[in-house]
Amino acid sequence: MLPLLFAGIVLACADLLYGQASVRPLANVTVTIDPAKATLFAGEMQTFVATVVGIRDKTVNWAVEEENGGTITDSGLYTAPKIQGVYHITATSRGRPQTKGVARITVLTYYDPRPPAFRS
Stated pTM of the model? 0.70
Indicate whether 12 belongs to any domain: no
Total domains in the chain come to 1
Instruction: Convert the pLDDT of each residue in 14-29 to its tens digit.
Output: 444 555 544 445 569 9
Instruction: Convert the pLDDT of each residue in 48-98 to its tens digit.
Output: 999 999 999 999 999 999 999 999 999 999 999 999 999 999 999 999 999
Indicate whether 102 belongs to any domain: yes
Q: State the residue range of the domain holding 64.
A: 27-108
The answer to whether 105 and 79 have CB atoms below 8 angstroms apart is no
CATH of the domain at 72: 2.60.40.10
Indicate whether 116 belongs to any domain: no
Amino acid code (one letter) for 97: P
Indicate whether 75 belongs to any domain: yes
Give CA–CA dist 15/106, Å, rounded: 54
Own/partner contacts of 67-70, CB < 8 Å, gap of 24 or more, are 70/105, 70/107
Indicate whether 114 belongs to any domain: no
